[in-house]
Amino acid sequence: MSVHKLARRFKLDVSTDNSTWIPFKGITDLQVKENATVVDVTDYDTAGFTAKEKTLSGATITVKADGPLNAGVADPGQEIVRATQYQFGSAARVYIRWYDRNNLPEAYSCYALANWSASKTGVGDAEEITAVFDSDGAITSITNPVTMANVPAITSVTPSGVAAGGIIRIQGAYFTTPVATTGVKIGGVNATSWDYISDSLIEAVMPAGSAGSAPVIVTTSAGASAAFPYTRA
């Protein structure tokens, strides 16, 4: 029995450092277009037929996505791209990787200039955004990461300056199944308690401790996140 590929078969992740990858969620459509520069290389040896050569290449990746909120919090992957609005230089760029969700070998990554815009603004519309990524430099073929066990990644901890007994929101990705009791540490101390809201959001109660630096770490069965800097009251 034959199985057809689905049009919506790609996943896309974004990163600010080409190391910690955050899924871009809510995708409803993703289109990849190669932007090739082709020149004429016809000469007498082509026997009267035209000949072409590709001299430059790049890609434009256009993503349409809805704008879901989880417990009143926007998707962390989308927020990384949204932050490039009205910026210049490296602040207007992100690393991206796109890959087949069926674990087929089609998987690539690149550094890209990002553009974010609202696609639908009517009263009767659900919020939709369009993100356009223009490759900046080499496009690299990568091993499809779809089946990899991803360690947690933290993108933000808010609000700042929370004291013992207060609640912080930890945003990021791959928070699925945090280790019981020790899954959230703040300044090296287990959080007094915490609630798993989703794989991108945890709410934790600040434990007792001294004011100052208190890096946050989330641990799951896949491993521990990098320590995210935080200053407690």
* Residue range 53-110, pLDDT digits in tens: 999 999 999 999 998 778 888 999 999 999 999 999 999 999 999 999 999 999 999 9
Give the DSSP letter of residue 60.
E
pTM, entire model: 0.90
**pLDDT tens profile 8-61:** 789 999 999 999 999 999 999 999 999 999 999 999 998 889 999 999 999 999
The structural domains of the chain, ordered by start, are: 10-141 (2.40.30), 153-232 (2.60.40.10)
Give residue 35's identity as a one-letter amino acid code: N
Res 99: pLDDT: 97
**The pLDDT of residue 6 is above 70:** no
Res 4: pLDDT: 63
**The pLDDT of residue 3 is above 70:** no
Res 73: pLDDT: 86
CA distance to 35, 41, 100, 106, 182, per residue, from 145 (Å): 25, 39, 9, 11, 27
**Which of residues 46 and 173 earns the better pLDDT score?**
173
How does the average pLDDT of the chain come out, rounded? 93
* Tokens read off for 117: 């815009």
Omega within 30 of 0 (cis) for the link into 145? no
Sort residue 165 into left (φ over 0), alpha (ψ -120 to 50) or beta: left
Average pLDDT over residues 122-142: 91
**pLDDT tens profile 179-222:** 888 999 999 999 999 999 999 999 999 999 999 999 999 999 99
SS3 218: strand
